[in-house]
Amino acid sequence: MSGDPSMTTTVAGLSTAAATRLLAEDGPNLLPQASTVPRWRAFAAQFTHFFAVMLWVAAALAFIAGMPQLGVAVTVVVVINGVFSYVQEARAERAASQLRAMLPAQVLVRRDGTAVSIPAAEIVHGDVVLLSAGDRIPGDVDFTGTESCTVDESMLSGESEPVPKRPGDPGFGGTFLVNGNAEAEITATGARTRLAAIATLTATAQPPQSPLNVELRRVVRIISVVALTFGGVFFAVSLLSGTSWRNAFLFAIGVSVALIPEGLLPTVTLSLAMGAQRMARRNALVRHLQAVETLGSTTFICTDKTGTLTQNRMSAVEVWTPQSVVVLSGTGYAPSASITGGPDAVAGARRLAWTARAASRGRAVLHGDEWVAEGDPMEAALDALARRLDHGAGSGAGRSAGKSAGTGAGTSADGDDPGQAAAGAEVAVEVAVDARWPFDPARKRESVAVAGHLLLKGAPEFVLPLCVAPADLAACQAALDEMAGRGLRVLAVAERVLPGTPGPDGPWPEDPGELERELTLLGLVGLHDPPRESVAEALRATRAAGIKVAMLTGDHPTTAAAIAGEIGLLGPDRTVLEGKDLPEDPHLLGALLDRDGVVVSRVSPEQKLKVAQALQLRGHVLAMTGDGVNDGPALQEADIGVAMGASGTDVAREAADLVLLDDDFATIVAAVEQGRATYANIRRFLTYHLTDNVAELTPFVVWALSGGSFPLALGVLQILFLDIGTDLLPALALGTEKADKRAMHRPPERRHLMDTRLMVRVFAVLGPVEAVFEMAAFTLTLWLAGWRPGAEFPGVGVLAAASGAAFTTVVLAQLANAFACRSESVPPWRLGWRTNPLMLKAVAVELLALLGFLFIMPVATMLGQAPPTIAGLLVALLSMPALLAADYWHKRFTHRRAAGPSAG
């Protein structure tokens, strides 16, 4: 708190013209880019990683060994793969930076004498910024006016205790105002701030690995180990069967590298980036790409109430005073009020409203016929209330308005009513506040000292005990219960004459506790905040998706329960808890909360953190919303911290993984749906990719097991070309699959990308079918040409045609597989052929490439293949229905076992 008068003296700030000139001179207020990798380095990196280097060695060896075609082919493969990966990564990076630019930080500054909100990047040296709790300080500053202001400087100093600031103290860009309000003059922006110096130091630090990254690296590692093992076995068998060591080494490297899914990581990144873009179109902005995937596996959502479930458009609809009840309806200036009570009924209500407004900073302005909030919507509603009652009284609407009508002079004659002493009837005149102790979520009240009075408003349980027991405590409690039971937020308003207190210059106590006692209760005010229309439907969707929801609110238990009941959140056992009653033990707490539709009221930020920890201990993947200054730790603790883009504080936004641009609960649900879709897509192309690997490996396994006596159905070059000709485009197309309509009709699952289900599908169903037909096409061609196992290898022409048949089979089977992989449970013909246009294009390109690889003679000769015979072609064609049939039966089988619809 502070009684510092400089808060009320207005420093005019810069003129717009001066600011524009300074902005041109100094440049925008942006931190120097954390030295991003230059493009050429990112490009070069695609050609210098371990596997690429192995391929370069293989190419060099091929040239030295006098096999220039192989050398050229390997080089082509490295280049195509490198360019493809680079393009994908660049696209993903571009998408990510577009997302970052969607939420520019805004700052309130005083320009030309009025407060305006501008992007933080446009702040210049000399600007006067107006800060309130939760704001990030946009540059280095000197404080010019402060009100109970403390700043979290931990990011610069490591000191976790907030630092109190007084006028004249310096403040630093990037730190946060934790408490109170402040006015400050900017002394340095952008690269000249202290943060910039530190940011350049820390830019080189690696960001932590996300779970998805860890998981993907695991997948790539497994496949790489398998590939290298095969390479080793192949090398050994080649040597044993009399191949020269150089050739053996060459082929071993070729086989290993062909099997390693280098393209997988960039494809996944791109797929996440596209998921993030789709979320952004639905007003959900992820702050890291990996959050897209985590969102998909969310099992529990803890949401707050005001603004997320409700519209945060408050209006005061009822005033209870010991003498009267005033019920207001309608909007605009002149409410239709129903008043019960004696002659002073409206006078009492007005006095309450004026007091509550004096203890507020939020204000309301009339737009058309509606009050629009400037600042805290609840406080704005109190401002509107005061003006409406004045207006009503002045125009005679309040039939018992009595003596204070219009002028507000009434009770102030005896100097007893500071609020009304400053009042005009229509025009709000601000009262001169000597000292303010702002609202904080622990005290749950706010008080001000005005002209020798202490004026206070706050949560009833936190105000009533400070009051001299009113004669009609029971009536007060009944009024409170009744209003809360209707879902109204209820505030108590009280005041006290301060004996012999200091003037505006203080000194005032830091702790208002010693002043906030022996208060006189003026009454209660009930505020209505309509639920969002989308919420009931969104809650139904969450339930259908097997996700549990809890409401964590700072509001009164009865109010919270009423709203939760109204929107259909409250669970069947109607569990409504209070923050103070939550058990300390995290296991107990987890067990208590682990059900659907729990309401926790009067919850503090620390309790939110505990709730997050307890639910995660139960194995939940938790999304938690928060908008307050102190919500940062809970948001960081949750798997998905959700902050509000429209309201909410900078602190919360920067701790969050997901920002809701429209503050709407339904948007979280939309984001979860998109997250599930993206995860399903990654599994789709992983399945597709791995099936191909089975088909590519089988010839080598057969060859090696036969000790080199069974000819090799596919050569290294053919494998490399399969990888490029068939894998890249369909994998991309699978990454663009739309969200499955039923994705939100099954329970969430937290599983490894490469789980048993996927492995069985690849290694026991799709892969073997493809491999069997591939080997059948090869063997049948040889057989019909008269070759029998164990005999001398047939001539080059026969081998080429057989190998061409095997190659064709893999391409065609993969073509069918691309369609099979579009869903994990539905056969492709039920998905509609035109629902993924990119897939049709990918398939067309694949077919053209196949024709080229078979019929362009130099290419075919280089690959060691020729167009297949009729018999070979028939087997290749048969592989398609066979693969689809196997896929169909497998889907039916697992589908039935899973009992219940599931798709994706």
Alpha carbon distances (Å) from 901 to 254, 683, 726: 43, 18, 32
Which is closer to ligand ATP, CB of 650 or CB of 887?
Answer: 650
Query: Residue 548: is it exposed, middle or buried by C-beta count within 10 angstroms (0-12/13-18/19+)?
Result: buried
d(CA 81, CA 496): 77
What is the H or E stretch that residue 380 is in?
A: helix 377-394
> 547-606: which residues touch ligand ATP (CB under 6 A)?
553-556
- Of 288-296, 457-465, 723-731, 860-868, the window that binds ligand ATP (rule: CB under 6 A) is 457-465
Single residue of 379, 594, 727, 737 touching ligand ATP by CB under 6 A: 379
- Of 173-181, 455-463, 690-698, 787-795, the window that binds ligand ATP (rule: CB under 6 A) is 455-463
> 658-697: which residues touch ligand ATP (CB under 6 A)?
none
User: Which backbone phi and psi does 433 adopt, to 5 degrees?
Assistant: -85, 125
474 is written with which tokens?
A: 């029971």
Give residue 687's Cα distance to chain centre: 27
432 is written with which tokens?
A: 């001169």
Single residue of 135, 376, 737, 774 touching ligand ATP by CB under 6 A: 376
- Of 298-306, 319-327, 695-703, 704-712, the window that binds ligand ATP (rule: CB under 6 A) is 298-306
Which is closer to ligand ATP, CB of 489 or CB of 822?
Answer: 489
Radius of gyration of the chain (CA): 35
Site string for ligand ATP, 144-183 (x = CB under 6 A): ----------------------------------------
> Does 439 interact with ligand ATP (rule: CB under 6 A)?
yes
Q: How many residues bind ligand ATP (CB under 6 A)?
A: 20
- Of 153-161, 261-269, 301-309, 397-405, the window that binds ligand ATP (rule: CB under 6 A) is 301-309
User: Which backbone phi and psi does 457 adopt, to 5 degrees?
Assistant: -135, 150
> Does 363 interact with ligand ATP (rule: CB under 6 A)?
no
User: Which backbone phi and psi does 14 adopt, to 5 degrees?
Assistant: -85, 160
Which is closer to ligand ATP, CB of 382 or CB of 821?
Answer: 382
- Sheet hosting strand 640-644, strand order edge to edge: 284-286, 658-660, 640-644, 622-625, 300-303, 548-552, 598-601, 576-578
DSSP 491: E
Which is closer to ligand ATP, CB of 446 or CB of 727?
Answer: 446
> Does 304 interact with ligand ATP (rule: CB under 6 A)?
yes
Which is closer to ligand ATP, CB of 142 or CB of 566?
Answer: 566
Single residue of 305, 351, 357, 532 touching ligand ATP by CB under 6 A: 305
Which is closer to ligand ATP, CB of 93 or CB of 374?
Answer: 374
d(CA 458, CA 445): 4
Site string for ligand ATP, 382-421 (x = CB under 6 A): ----------------------------------------
d(CA 877, CA 884): 12
What is the H or E stretch that residue 177 is in?
A: strand 176-188
Single residue of 457, 532, 684, 822 touching ligand ATP by CB under 6 A: 457
CB 148 within 8 A of CB 118: no
> Does 282 interact with ligand ATP (rule: CB under 6 A)?
no
Which is closer to ligand ATP, CB of 599 or CB of 728?
Answer: 599
d(CA 121, CA 155): 20
844 is written with which tokens?
A: 């067309």
Site string for ligand ATP, 311-350 (x = CB under 6 A): ----------------------------------------
Which is closer to ligand ATP, CB of 195 or CB of 552?
Answer: 552
Site string for ligand ATP, 460-499 (x = CB under 6 A): -----------------------------x-x--------
Q: Is residue 631 among the annotated active site residues?
A: no
Closest residue to ligand ATP using C-beta atoms: 554
In terms of phi and psi (left: phi > 0; alpha: psi -120 to 50; beta: otherwise), the region of 307 is left
d(CA 425, CA 386): 10
d(CA 643, CA 630): 12
Single residue of 19, 61, 378, 873 touching ligand ATP by CB under 6 A: 378
- Of 339-347, 371-379, 417-425, 611-619, the window that binds ligand ATP (rule: CB under 6 A) is 371-379
In the bound complex, what is the minimum distance in angstroms from residue 559's beta carbon to ligand ATP? Answer: 7
Query: Residue 36: is it exposed, middle or buried by C-beta count within 10 angstroms (0-12/13-18/19+)?
Result: exposed
In the bound complex, what is the minimum distance in angstroms from residue 624's beta carbon to ligand ATP? Answer: 12
Single residue of 459, 541, 589, 659 touching ligand ATP by CB under 6 A: 459
In the bound complex, what is the minimum distance in angstroms from residue 140's beta carbon to ligand ATP? Answer: 30
In the set 152, 304, 639, 657, the catalytic residue is: 304
Query: HSE on the CB side for 629, CA within 13 Å?
Result: 22
d(CA 362, CA 377): 7
Strand-strand pairing, 176-188 and 140-152 = antiparallel
3-state class percentages of the chain: helix first, strand second, coil last, to nearest 5: 50, 15, 30
In the bound complex, what is the minimum distance in angstroms from residue 627's beta carbon to ligand ATP? Answer: 7
Which is closer to ligand ATP, CB of 523 or CB of 711?
Answer: 523
d(CA 325, CA 310): 26
> Does 458 interact with ligand ATP (rule: CB under 6 A)?
yes
In terms of phi and psi (left: phi > 0; alpha: psi -120 to 50; beta: otherwise), the region of 597 is left
In the bound complex, what is the minimum distance in angstroms from residue 164's beta carbon to ligand ATP? Answer: 21
DSSP 165: -
- Of 92-100, 231-239, 453-461, 610-618, the window that binds ligand ATP (rule: CB under 6 A) is 453-461
What one-letter code names the amino acid at 148? S
- Of 110-118, 375-383, 535-543, 820-828, the window that binds ligand ATP (rule: CB under 6 A) is 375-383
d(CA 63, CA 72): 8
Single residue of 441, 502, 583, 768 touching ligand ATP by CB under 6 A: 441
> Does 654 interact with ligand ATP (rule: CB under 6 A)?
no
> 499-558: which residues touch ligand ATP (CB under 6 A)?
553-556
Which is closer to ligand ATP, CB of 605 or CB of 868?
Answer: 605
In the bound complex, what is the minimum distance in angstroms from residue 371's beta carbon to ligand ATP? Answer: 17
d(CA 259, CA 693): 6
Query: HSE on the CB side for 904, CA within 13 Å?
Result: 27
d(CA 700, CA 715): 9
In the bound complex, what is the minimum distance in angstroms from residue 767's beta carbon to ligand ATP? Answer: 52
> Does 849 interact with ligand ATP (rule: CB under 6 A)?
no
Residues in the chain, total = 904
Which is closer to ligand ATP, CB of 445 or CB of 620?
Answer: 445
Which is closer to ligand ATP, CB of 467 or CB of 697?
Answer: 467
Residue 148: name the closest of 166, 136, 134 by CA.
Answer: 166
- Of 232-240, 303-311, 325-333, 341-349, the window that binds ligand ATP (rule: CB under 6 A) is 303-311
What is the residue whose two structure tokens read 């830019």? Answer: 203
- Of 300-308, 404-412, 615-623, 752-760, the window that binds ligand ATP (rule: CB under 6 A) is 300-308
d(CA 124, CA 141): 11
Residue 733: name the closest of 799, 699, 684, 671 by CA.
Answer: 684
CB 524 within 8 A of CB 480: yes
Q: What residues act catalytically?
A: 304
Residues that bind ligand ATP (CB under 6 A): 304-306, 376, 378-379, 439, 441, 444-446, 457-459, 489, 491, 553-556
